[in-house]
Every structure is written in structure tokens, then in C-alpha cells.
Amino acid sequence: MDTATATADPAATGEGTGRPGGGRRSGAWCAALLFAGVSAVVGCRVADTDGVTPVPQLLAFLPWLLVPTAAGLLCTVLARWWTGAVWGVALLGLLAWYIEPYGRTGEPVGPPVAELRVLTSNVEFGQATAALVDAVRREEPDLVFVQECEYTCDAALKRELTAAYPHRRAVEGGGSEGSVILSRFPLRAGDGVPGTLGMPGAVADVDGHPVRLQLAHPMPPLPGQVGLWQRELGGLRDAAAAARDTPTVLAGDFNATQDHAAFRRVLDTGLRDAARLDGADRTPTWPSRTTPAFGAQIDHVLVSEEFAARRARFLDLADTDHRALVVDLTLHGGR
């Protein structure tokens, strides 16, 4: 007796060439992988920690995690994976929340007593020294914070800018270790912050008002050196906390954004990001080859509550991977 053999419909089972069921499974897996990666980074942001490699490196680009999250959501819709869609929407909501600026704002108390312009620039092993000199002459800042100013950069700044900036504090060094503060105002020695890279400090006499200056250049959060990066940012945080009775400007290449817990601890001392005060808190400064379309803001001018900030602008200098930051500050006479 003949036996009838039932053949399953490939379109219904996901087998065969069409495989709509298999395509949906692939879409769901793709979405799950994207969401898992984003969740690891966002989870550390929620937990107020920088985690371990590669989380600290990815936190610098937190806003850009919207892209894989949106791609994952598209996959969930195509796969009809509604639980995954809820996961993706929750991630989008968290990212939108944490993209908002962090830290204090507010108007200074008391009358304005002095105006000053600050410029900070990482010249990448001294390569952008000539471009920096041109920018300084064009922008005419009162204070200049220079990172990665090795021996030839230091000599060039002495030769080209001493007449306009007779006061300086420097940590000499080769490669990325050298750093310099140039000032139109008289300076007296400050303690500085110990670190792998030079981080000099000083106290400026700004029209009769003492202002503490501190250059920032902690090590970057390279794989295997995240702990060192956190400790050096912690040193800057301690220095900021110790100077609350004196108006303070803390400027330089922090190798960190507001999405890093170690940097937020610096802001928690009461310092304010001057770029944020002027509405430019997410303008990227690194890497310069992809800014302003893509990047992270890791170069900052932080100021104490006695300062108001305006006209923050970012300069593209040749031969460096950082954009320079210039901001105009007004010092007020009361807290």
C-alpha cells in the first residue's frame, strides 16, 4: 500500500531558500548583540562607574551609541521581536537622559571685577607649535595652557611669545610630558598635580585678584592603564576640592568627557565646564580629523562659581589631533 508523505512548507518553517522565519531569527540575534553591547556601556553609566576596558573608551562616545541602538530597533521591527523592541526603547530613553549636560550652572554672585580670555591646546608632541603661535597672536588670550609641549615647543614659545606673555610656569619634558602655562598676569608658584605627564600649577594676580591656575593632562584610559587614568583624574579632583576658597581655572586635555565617572567627580567639587555654560557642552575636540562631524569633547576649561563664561569657540590647528578651545571669562567679586 502506498504511503503518502507530507512535505512541510519551507516558507512556514523558515527552511529553504526564502527562510523568512530564519531571517527573523537572524534579525533578533543581531538586535540582541547590539543591545547587549550598548547595555554594558549604559549600565556602567547608570551605576556611576567607568568599568573596565573597553567600557571607558566607549563611554567617551556615549551619544554615538544611539546609532547601534537605532539599528537594533530596526532589526527588532523586521524580526517582529517585540520584547527586544521594548529593550531598545529603554536603551534609547537612558541614552537621551544621559546625553543631557552634567554639572552645576548658575550666575556668579557679586559685581564683575575682571575680564580674561583663556586658550587651551594640546599640540601633539609639539608638532602644532607654529599653528598655536599664530592662534595666540590672532585670539590674544590672557592665559594659555599648552599640553604635549616638548623641548623644541617650549623653546619656540619662549622665543615667539615671551614679550606678550612674560610670566610662565612649565614642566619640561620630551614627547607628551612637557606642559606650559603662559600668562599676561603676574604668576607665583603653585603646587601643581603630580602625574605621568606634566601638570603645572600657579596663582595669577588678575587685576589684584588671586586666581588659581591648574593645567590638566592625565594619562588617557588606554587598555591596561585605566587605573592610572582614574588616579590622575582623582589627583585633579583633590586639587580642585582643596582650592574652593580661591577662584580657579582648571584647563587642558582631560582625556575624559562628562560621561566618565572620574571626570564627573572633578565637576562635583563645584567647578563648571565653561563650554557648557556657553551652550557648547557636546562640541567634539578629538580626534580633530573627524570633528566636528564625529568625536568627543575631552579638552575643557573648568571654572569655579566666581566666573561667567561666554564665546566658547573651537579652533582647528594644523598638525595636532586636538582642537584648541578659547573662552572668554568674567570674574565676579563675590560668592
* Cα–chain center distance at 83: 34
| DSSP β-ladder status, 167-171 and 109-122 | unpaired
Sign of the CA dihedral with 317 first, then 318, 320, and 322 last = positive
> Distance (Å, rounded) from C-alpha 285 to C-alpha 56?
17
C-alpha cell at 51: 568599568
Beta carbons of 299 and 250 less than 8 angstroms apart: no
Q: Where are the alpha helices (DSSP H) in 47-179?
A: 55-59, 66-79, 82-99, 129-139, 151-161
Cα distances (angstroms) measured from residue 263 to each of 116, 271, 305: 25, 11, 18
| Long-range contacts of 203-206, Cβ-Cβ distance < 8 Å, separation of 24 or more | 203/246, 204/143, 204/167, 206/114, 206/116, 206/142, 206/331
Report the C-alpha dihedral over residues 26, 28, 30, 32, rounded to 10 degrees. -150
Q: Which fold has domain 109-334?
A: Deoxyribonuclease I; Chain A (3.60.10)
Q: Where are the alpha helices (DSSP H) in 100-211?
A: 129-139, 151-161
The single residue listed with the C-alpha cell 512548507 is 9
- Provide the whole-model pTM: 0.91
pLDDT, one tens digit for every residue, the chain (335 residues): 444 444 443 333 444 444 556 778 999 999 999 999 999 999 999 999 999 999 999 999 999 999 999 999 999 999 999 999 999 999 999 999 999 999 888 889 899 999 999 999 999 999 999 999 999 999 999 999 999 999 999 999 999 999 999 999 999 999 999 999 999 999 999 889 999 999 999 999 999 999 999 999 999 999 999 999 999 999 999 999 997 889 999 999 999 999 999 999 999 999 999 999 999 999 999 999 999 999 999 999 999 999 999 999 999 999 999 999 999 999 998 65
Question: What are the domain boundaries of the chain?
Answer: 10-99, 109-334
